[in-house]
Amino acid sequence: MAEPIISVEHVSFAYEEDAPLAVSDVSLTVERGGFHAILGQNGSGKSTLAKLINGLYLPGKGRVTVCGLDTQEDKNTWEIRRRAGMVFQNPDNQLVTTVVREDVAFGLENIGVPTEEMPARIEKALADVGMLAFAERAPHTLSGGQKQRVAIAGVLAMQPEAIIFDESTAMLDPRGRTEVLEAVKRLNREQGITVLWITHFMEEAVACGRVHVMHDGRIVLSGTPREIFQDAEKLRPYRLDTPPMARLAQRLRAAGMPLREGILTVEEMAKEVERLCK
């Protein structure tokens, strides 16, 4: 495996001393350039894990390192937050100024980037998410997907190694969701930015290199999307469903269409139907 960027080793965490563990003996490694998804129902511990990774919470047991820096050590806090940026669910809570460009600049001021270096960084970050043309706009005039891309630019301007997305598409319409996921895939593919993509949309996890399923604070399944989604029975105990295209394929098979196994995406379905219709 390539060098680990995010390493979580047997980590447990409870919000209060006698509270049940929100994260329970979790181990997870994300390699440089990896694109991993975390799936799980509400309350399964996904956000807590995300906050443990970027040092907002410290593990009760176990160890978290980002680029080899231990979150337990105070002196690493800012460096870890710069190297592993986070994008949250609600874009409105992440945009703090009245002009897009200033919003992207905001984080840079906090980490002490010299003023003369800022414009180039801001413009590159906005261009990377396809939002450069909106630099002088007011964030409240943008769509949800555009706002979320500005929030991503704010993180990108800090030149992170990894970005953790905590249900960053949950509040968006389908078009905004696609727009954001496509932008993130491009950052991963073209710039090698490591991605941890937390979601409850099965179809979003299909595009990832590796999927981890959380349930009751634990990681209960890990594998490639194909390994995780080929068997609906495996997911049922965690009250998760297979992706829509896998379900459709299952139904069509039950109705007598000889579709191959392992269909997860619209593209794969289209190809298979075309093959059968020849």
Closest approach of Mg ion to the CB of residue 186, in Å: 25
Of 213, 216, 217, which Cα lies nearest the Cα of 205? 213
Nearer to ligand ADP (CB atom), residue 29 or residue 41? 41
- Beta-carbon contacts of 234 under 8 Å, excluding residues fewer than 6 positions away, are 221, 228
CA–CA separation, 70 vs 122, rounded Å? 29
169 lies in the site for Mg ion, by CB under 5 A: no
Structure tokens at 150: 């500005």
Is residue 168 a contact point for ligand ADP (CB under 6 A)? no
Exactly one of 10, 27, 43, 109 binds ligand ADP (CB under 6 A); that residue is 43
Q: From ligand ADP, Mg ion, none, which one binds at residue 78 (CB under 5 to 8 Å depending on kind)?
A: none
CB-nearer residue toward ligand ADP: 37 or 126: 37
Interacting stretch for ligand ADP, rule CB under 6 A, among 39-47, 121-129, 131-139, 236-244? 39-47
Does the protein bind ligand ADP through residue 212 (CB under 6 A)?
Answer: no
Q: Using the rule CB under 6 A, is 46 a contact of ligand ADP?
A: yes
CA 87 from chain centre, in angstroms, equals: 8
How many angstroms separate the Cα of 191 from the Cα of each of 1, 88, 147, 161, 183? 19, 21, 21, 10, 11
Does position 59 interact with ligand ADP (CB under 6 A)? The reply is no
Strand partners, 36: 196, 210
Residues that bind ligand ADP (CB under 6 A): 15, 22, 40, 42-48
